[in-house]
Amino acid sequence: MMLIALVAVPAAAGIVAFFIKQNRLRWGLLLLTSSVHLLLTSMIRLSPQQPLLRGWLFLDAAGYLFLGITSLLFFAVSIYGTKFIDKNRHRIDRIFTSCLLFFLSTMTLVTLSHSFDLLWVAVEATTLASAPLIYFHRHRNKHSLEATWKYLMICSVGIALALLGTFFLSIAAAGTGGGARDGTGMALSNLLQNASSLNADWLKAAFLFLVAGYGTKVGLAPMHTWLPDAHSESPSMVSALLSGALLNCSFLAILRGYQVCVAAGQGAFAQEVLIAFGLMSMGVAAVFIIRQSDYKRLLAYSSVEHMGILSLSVGIGGKAMFGGMLHAINHSMTKGMLFLVSGNILAAYGTKHVKLISGMFKVLPASGVLWIAGLLAITGSPPFGSFISEFIILKEALDTGHIWIALCYLIFLVVIFIGMATVMLKMVQGATHDPQTDNNLPTTVQVESLWSIIPPAVMAIAVLLLGIHLPPFLNEHLLEAAAVLNIR
């Protein structure tokens, strides 16, 4: 029942929110829903769930990991968004609030889906729920129109390919007798059970289509082209959710395909594919991060990089899987926090151009400090959590003899570190702008609302703590998640 509540509560709240006229009340409902969602998510762990609907809905350790990330991030974003309520009455409208809630509901459904066709429905639904969110700044300029159109078209076409992959998978299963006529043929548990008799060729084709299709949504290069546009044009809280939650959820869809491949003895093939996409994504991100002129695009390309790292970690396998799962948490928290801070910067300076921004330490002291903390965390510097996870992946790559992969991985990480550091350090340092040359830019200390500082600060501290001490329960859970994905 709790599984259904997790999906139904935000969906119902989304419908109700559409009919509430008062801004405060509507946002209050969103805050309430996100707290309930977080509460339910933490309670589920205490009471293990049975598969529901003939195994269609089931929460395993991997799904729970991504559900937890989504729920936490959504909670942080909903608190951050509170600052907009008082500032401007028209900023957050009904459609926006409703779509945020639907977005939460559909992402939850992705993490709970234990059947490939339901998974497809859920992932496509996340695209539809988030498209209006990206389109939020429609009154400001035409760019949001462009970003939304690209997002819709590229992701819809990509996900259509994933549907074809899903059908391929069921053809692979059809000969086994496990592809029963009672509608459970595409359930993950069923496929895993009959894995040994799956048709290998169709399974490989299916996996390729699944990776290409869902990979579009994950932002793996070369299907990432919608990602920088969508992330830079949407409101910062939406960018945080897209990057920290949506990309992960779509990655889970690829992991489900990987799970079947491993069970069917095609793990090596799947790993090669994931390594190729992972390295390509890191390389493309590195190229575009250098001399990037827009700091939100910078963060977006960094997401492409980190999705590449996740993909690579699964490709390397072994302990790297554990590192990858840990890295997913680190990346989501750090990137969510960075996008929220970028919202503060955008609000104060009114521009996304790196060149026009300097002296953040003087103008936005708290955001400036968080921006630097975020820079260190996202580039994997000690003592932040991402250092640990990236190190585990590197060590496993070396231990398993993937020397060249490890070398490329290191080079890309260093290039990206330099690229991000030059851009982001320039923004915080230096003098404030001369008020006579450009009147629009702030020169004095701005008042930063607590709503906009506390959520990113808490997330930064969490990532820092993860680097210093990994709590035993989390360690255990990550091990379990990595094990679930690798059952032969």
Residues that bind other proteins (CB under 8 A): 115, 117-118, 120-121, 124-125, 127-128, 131-132, 135, 138, 142-143, 145-150, 152-153, 156-157, 160, 163-164, 167, 170-172, 174-175, 179, 181-183, 185-186, 199, 201-202, 228-229, 232-233, 288, 291-294, 297, 355
54, 64, 75, 128, 202 from 101: Cα distances, Å: 27, 19, 11, 12, 37
Residue 210 CB, shortest distance to other proteins, in Å, is 14
Q: Which CB atom, from 106 or from 313, has the smaller least distance to other proteins?
A: 106
Nearer Cβ to other proteins (230/309): 230
Report residue 353: phi and psi, to 5°. -80, 125
User: Is 93 or 201 the residue whose CB approaches other proteins more closely?
Assistant: 201
CB closer to other proteins, 6 vs 172: 172
Backbone angles phi, psi at 113, to 5 degrees: -65, 130
The candidate with the shortest Cα–Cα distance to 110, out of 155, 65, 72, is 65
The smaller minimum CB distance to other proteins, of residues 174 and 369, is found at: 174
Nearer to other proteins, 205 or 398 (CB): 205
**Is the CB of 138 or the CB of 395 nearer to other proteins?**
138
User: Residue 484 is which amino acid?
Assistant: V
Q: Considering the complex, what minimum distance in angstroms separates the CB of residue 291 from other proteins? A: 7
User: Which residues sit opposite 353 in a β-bridge?
Assistant: 294
CB 33 to other proteins: min, Å: 21
- In the complex, the smallest distance separating the C-beta of residue 186 from other proteins, rounded to whole angstroms, is 7
Shorter beta-carbon distance to other proteins: residue 68 or 419? 419
> How near is the Cβ of 123 to other proteins at its closest, in Å?
9
Gap between the Cα atoms of 127 and 273, Å rounded: 25
Cβ(227)–Cβ(303) below 8 Å? yes
**Distance from C-alpha of 411 to C-alpha of 328, rounded to nearest angstrom:** 21
CB of 292 to other proteins, least distance (A): 7
The partner residues of 1 in beta bridges, in order of sequence, read none
In the bound complex, what is the minimum distance in angstroms from residue 246's beta carbon to other proteins? 16
CB of 271 to other proteins, least distance (A): 25
Cβ-proximal residues to 446 (8 Å cutoff; 6+ apart), any chain = 348, 363, 364
Task: Return d(Cα 68, Cα 332) in angstroms, integer.
Answer: 11
Q: Is 19 or 182 the residue whose CB approaches other proteins more closely?
A: 182
* Residue of 323, 299, 284 whose CA lies nearest to 479: 323
Phi, psi of 178 (to 5 degrees): -75, -25
Angstrom distance (rounded) from CA 362 to CA 43: 43
Q: Which is nearer to other proteins, 122 or 275 (CB)?
A: 122
Q: What angle do CA 301, 452, 69 make, to 5 degrees?
A: 55
What is the closest distance, in whole angstroms, from the C-beta atom of residue 420 to other proteins in the complex? 15
Among left, alpha and beta (phi > 0; psi -120 to 50; other), residue 115 is: beta
Report the residue number, 164 or 470, with the smaller CB distance to other proteins.
164
Please, what is the minimum distance in Å from the beta carbon of residue 323 to other proteins? 30
Between CA 337 and CA 359 the distance in angstroms is: 20
The distance of closest approach from Cβ of residue 179 to other proteins in the complex, given in angstroms and rounded to an integer, is: 8
Q: Judge contact between 430 and 441, C-beta under 8 A.
A: no
CB-based burial label for 136 (10 Å; 0-12, 13-18, 19+): buried
- Give 5 or 174: the residue with its C-beta nearer to other proteins: 174
Residues 6+ apart with CB under 8 A from 341: 367, 370, 371, 374, 456
Helix and strand numbers (H, E) in the chain are 21, 0
Give the residue from 168, 159, 43, 176 showing the smallest Cα distance to 110: 159
Angle at 332 between CA 330 and CA 335, to 5 degrees: 100
Tell me how far, at minimum, the Cβ of 449 lies from other proteins, in Å: 30
Length of the chain counted residue by residue: 488
